[in-house]
Structure 1
């Protein structure tokens, strides 16, 4: 595993501390994080979505994702890219928590 891959894994784990205020679960297990990559040993790029395009918590969640990525030792720049392609759906929720949400 390369240093970039290791850091990407650390960022992914750090993002599990970001809780969606509506669903009460972390954004990784909810399937809202589409991709995490690290390049040049210090630049984290995160592709994510929200449950709906007009989600009132979008700014809060995006900022929390950026803050958690910045907290990973070695990360010097964070680029959070919000996308709705593909749109989020409950099918993206990790099976281990889907039952908790009645899915």
Structure 2
């Protein structure tokens, strides 16, 4: 790809990255907090479902790999893992909650 993709294209690529413990993609899980493309740098702020997530490194590697497929070589990817706000099940998309069998009463 020669042109930088738009935010929705980036979000679509990140939907190919799954949290293997939950079996859902990181976008629908609500783990992506910010996507910003400026000055040849893609800035992403995301979180994990828990600070003790054993799959965190694998998820980050998968995100970099998916983004590498769609981004021009001159775009730098900066992914920051943040813990504020802490992730909660209510951050999942409605479709993801339904697929996983979560209801609003399951969310704190």
1:19 offset after TM fit, Å?
Answer: 0.8
Where structure 1 has 5 or more consecutive residues not aligned to the other structure, the ranges are none
SS at match of 1:97: helix
1:99 lines up with 2:98 in the alignment: yes
Equivalences for residues 54-69 of structure 1 within 5 A: 54-69=52-67
The structure with more radius of gyration? 2
In structure 2, relative to structure 1, the CA distance for the partners of 1:8 and 1:74 (3 Å cut) is farther
Question: Which residue number in structure 2 is paired with residue 44 of structure 1?
Answer: 42
1:102 offset after TM fit, Å?
Answer: 1.5
Whole-angstrom distance in 1 between the partners of 2:85 and 2:6: 25
1:67 offset after TM fit, Å?
Answer: 1.6
Equivalences for residues 5-44 of structure 1 within 5 A: 7-40=6-39, 42-44=40-42
Whole-angstrom distance in 1 between the partners of 2:9 and 2:41: 13
For the aligned residues, what is the CA RMSD? 1.6
Deviates more, 1:75-84 or 1:11-20: 75-84
> Across the two proteins, how many residue pairs are aligned to each other?
99
- What is the TM-score normalised by the length of structure 2? 0.83
Whole-angstrom distance in 2 between the partners of 1:18 and 1:59: 12
Dislocated runs of 4+, deviation >4 Å:
none
Whole-angstrom distance in 2 between the partners of 1:63 and 1:99: 28
